[in-house]
Chains A and B, each alone.
Chain A
């Protein structure tokens, strides 16, 4: 079974440029998460989707970040414009729900973003 797929794996951009990350969750997983992981830190949740609905986006900086999950499968996270402080690893995870929020979350390898 294929795991969570993310692309690109690495991205280098100049500040003020836009950038987008793509995630394909494990087949059949209705819950999708985007996390931000700064160097030497644990992941922090940005947004959680149940199917195509964003049910928790309280930690998403909405002035520059946006996300979508069309048709409840793939998801895209966008930053526009990027700032130096956005340099981090962006992780996507998915789960199949059904256990009250305590189900296993499966993480992709992440996209490492460097903003110059």
Chain B
């Protein structure tokens, strides 16, 4: 059972554009929603994370928007740069049995053209 669904699978944007990646979850026990960034040959690295008690969190050019009622959250990358080209994964974890267990989406391959 895939508990976190991510879209799109791939995304191409021009430098300076906005990249938007969406995720939807099913398990209402989830209460922690991180986004990870992965470059080829590297492990995933935490980019930004949100708890469901807020609807938005911004860190630099990266913003998470969270809609608890719709069970959806999204990552917005403003002023996208070629260096942002990577695979992005949303994830979720929370109360048992999800405690300490990150459930990842399938990933989005982002390509930013110069």
Query: Which of A's residues lie within 8 Å of B, judged by CB?
Result: 4, 31, 40-45, 48, 55-56, 91, 93, 100-102, 104-110
Contact = CB atoms under 8 A, between A and B. Distances in A.
Interface residues of B, number: 28
A4 B43 CA distance: 10
B94 to A, nearest CB: 7
Contact of A102 (B42, B93, B103, B107): B93
B46 interface: yes
B102 A43 contact: yes
Given A101-B93, A102-B93, A105-B46, A43 B104 contact: yes
Interface string B22-40: 0000000001101010000
A91 B43 contact: yes
Given A101-B99, A110-B43, A44 B104 contact: yes
Contacts of B91: 42
B43 A42 contact: no
A110 to B, nearest CB: 6
B18 interface: no
Given A104-B46, A107-B45, A42 B89 contact: yes
Nearest to A55: B100
B43 A93 contact: yes
A101 B43 contact: no
A102 B92 CA distance: 9
